[in-house]
Structure 1
């Protein structure tokens, strides 16, 4: 049973003074998110990530399409009770304290009064706000407000959590703590769907990712598959600054860094490379498959979409 099943969601806005012009924010989107995975929704600013999340939350009505969440129709109130949501730019009343804010959201989310204090204490500890629980939110930094937003999203122990740019405003330590929290949520059996344009976070966290650009899905897959070996190539590293002619004959692309040489060759040539280094009495340090990064895959998809768009004008 998928946690999220998106079936042709589409959004077209009417714009202009007379609202006779249209702007397509999201092309028909078909996407499935499995139970218990961390799923990254990647794209540059303005790609359609927030529009998609707001439609899934019922905050924006789609022009067409539908969705199922937790194996139920997405419009059912029972579904909303099992969802946590952190918007991209959360706004909270300045004069509430962190504890008062969570008590308010706990009531809205239906957390029983007898359990509310315990749950508030737990989530404040998880997001590192225990020491400032009595401080008014107007005195919080942007990063602290982001933590408060994460706390309200998980307060009612939801099965599915939507985070829209959860790393926004956080310092490196805060980002590390949020990544740890997401992994904990996954280990608890929850599904995490988060949008981001910080690719290093997505690569470190996600089981699968989808890439969206200009409102259109450009690619989806497991991170391990998207960052697989590059066209059957390996990197050979050896001690020294000497590049044997026999290595050049293998078509090696060599780069000298300090007292080591790094060479990229076809994986079918690695035995020949080892023999060449042995003949020259050079010390082999490592042979590793050359892998692409999520960033390289992301850029490739965006460049391809721009090229395609250019050829269809």
Structure 2
């Protein structure tokens, strides 16, 4: 491998395995993240994302395999000063105010208090929580704590930003504020590694996506590349009355194999939506199934995950 290529690879994960008491949380995981890239690890809860991120951030050691971050071990003190890691639970000291948390965290990175506070106030304003700067962390709502933690992670201007489910539990407005801020960080060439189970975040932010399931990366590539490789040209989305979803799925499976259902809809992966839509509607009507709506959608990463695993991300 050339030195130029190595310098361009901010994260190198090679055959990482992690086991706990006979349970394998990660199974031979390998990937690289390039400088300035937004790399999203997409997978359901329990896929192994948090274990992987703890290892990359130097919080945990792998059972086997290796990780290099910015050319060195992630546990190296000088490397840690170039990384900002935000775990799923906001890392705020409850007895300190938001700004006092920022003061403490930025001091660990050797930043001056004035510079850190100036940067923090700009970020707090962007996220719409400037008025919370003097509020105790223990008095923040879950959403406010998440937003304050994002400021904590960004105020030190890291070379590598590691975010584990940064928007989980937030309302749509808060999520949008964070996504917009991350887009801005990405435009400034900050390297971002992010875990999520939310399709829209991955599709909007990622340069590349790793789809993770049961401790393995089962597919990797650009969003459109993954859709082209694994998803159908179109998805027929049928919404029967709630009590008929399972029945509708079973009826359609008699004619099509690529049928996936959830609580309120049935998805049919199709090469010929114009031909399959009237055929599916007729079959359901003949079986006494009331249809609330039918539409033809473009495939999403949800359909890629369905194709690869036979399950939905949220199952």
Identify whether the pair has TM-score above 0.5, normalized to the shorter chain.
Answer: yes
Question: Counterparts of 1:220-239 in structure 2 under 5 Å?
Answer: 220-228=220-228
1:253 aligns with 2:275: yes
TM-score, normalised by the number of residues in structure 2:
0.74
TM-score, normalised by the number of residues in structure 1:
0.74
For residue 113 of structure 1, what is the aligned residue in structure 2?
113
1:300 maps to which of 297, 302, 307: 307
Displacement of 1:292: 2.3
For residue 39 of structure 2, what is the aligned residue in structure 1?
39
Indicate how the Cα distance of structure 1 residues 251 and 11 shifts in structure 2: closer, same or farther if over 3 A, else same.
closer
For residue 99 of structure 1, what is the aligned residue in structure 2?
99
Instruction: Provide the aligned C-alpha RMSD in A.
Output: 2.5
Indicate how the Cα distance of structure 1 residues 99 and 218 shifts in structure 2: closer, same or farther if over 3 A, else same.
same
Contact 1:229 1:290 in 2 (8 A): no
Consecutive unaligned residues of structure 2, counting only runs of 5 or more, are 1-7, 236-271, 279-295
Displacement of 1:43: 1.1
Tell me which moved more, 110-119 or 129-138.
110-119
Higher Cα Rg: structure 1 or 2? Answer: 1
- Between the aligned partners of 2:273 and 2:153, the Cα distance in structure 1 is 54
Indicate how the Cα distance of structure 1 residues 127 and 109 shifts in structure 2: closer, same or farther if over 3 A, else same.
farther
- Between the aligned partners of 2:186 and 2:131, the Cα distance in structure 1 is 26
- Between the aligned partners of 1:70 and 1:163, the Cα distance in structure 2 is 17
Contact 1:96 1:136 in 2 (8 A): yes
Deviation by residue 1:41-80 (Cα, 9 ceiling, x = unmatched) = 0111111000000011111111111112123333322211
- Between the aligned partners of 1:231 and 1:76, the Cα distance in structure 2 is 41
Deviation by residue 1:191-228 (Cα, 9 ceiling, x = unmatched) = 11110111121112211100111111111010021123
- Between the aligned partners of 1:196 and 1:88, the Cα distance in structure 2 is 10
- Between the aligned partners of 2:36 and 2:229, the Cα distance in structure 1 is 27
- Between the aligned partners of 2:309 and 2:277, the Cα distance in structure 1 is 29
For residue 62 of structure 1, what is the aligned residue in structure 2?
62
Consecutive unaligned residues of structure 1, counting only runs of 5 or more, are 15-21, 236-249, 257-288, 305-313
Contact 2:18 2:62 in 1 (8 A): yes
